[in-house]
Structure 1
Amino acid sequence: MAYPKFEIKKSSNGKFYFNLRSKGNGEIIATSEMYNSKQSCKDGIDAVQRDAPNAEVIDLTISN
């Protein structure tokens, strides 16, 4: 696999979700929430693609 990819899936309850697979070994590295429509699922993918490059990492395991 040369690049990461999003896979849209439909669950047994009829809702849609996506998995993000890594570019290296194809392992699932993220799974979305459940969406009522495929279009909402695609909108969720768009949001990740748009916002993730600038996402801040916050380590909540560090105590103050």
Structure 2
Amino acid sequence: MDKDRVIGSAKVVEGKIKVAVGKAVGDAKLVSEGQTKKVEGKVQNAVGGLKDALKGK
């Protein structure tokens, strides 16, 4: 498994936590940062998946 997949998954989790905390305390900026982090993590995870697919061929 490529390291980008692991890091990407961690960023998604971090983003979900930021969104939840931001909603709980009413901090729109924190919610926005969390959503951005989730997208960033999904993209990095996809890149890692592509790397894994290329290594397998």
TM-score, normalised via structure 2 length: 0.35
More helix by share: 2
TM-score, normalised via structure 1 length: 0.32
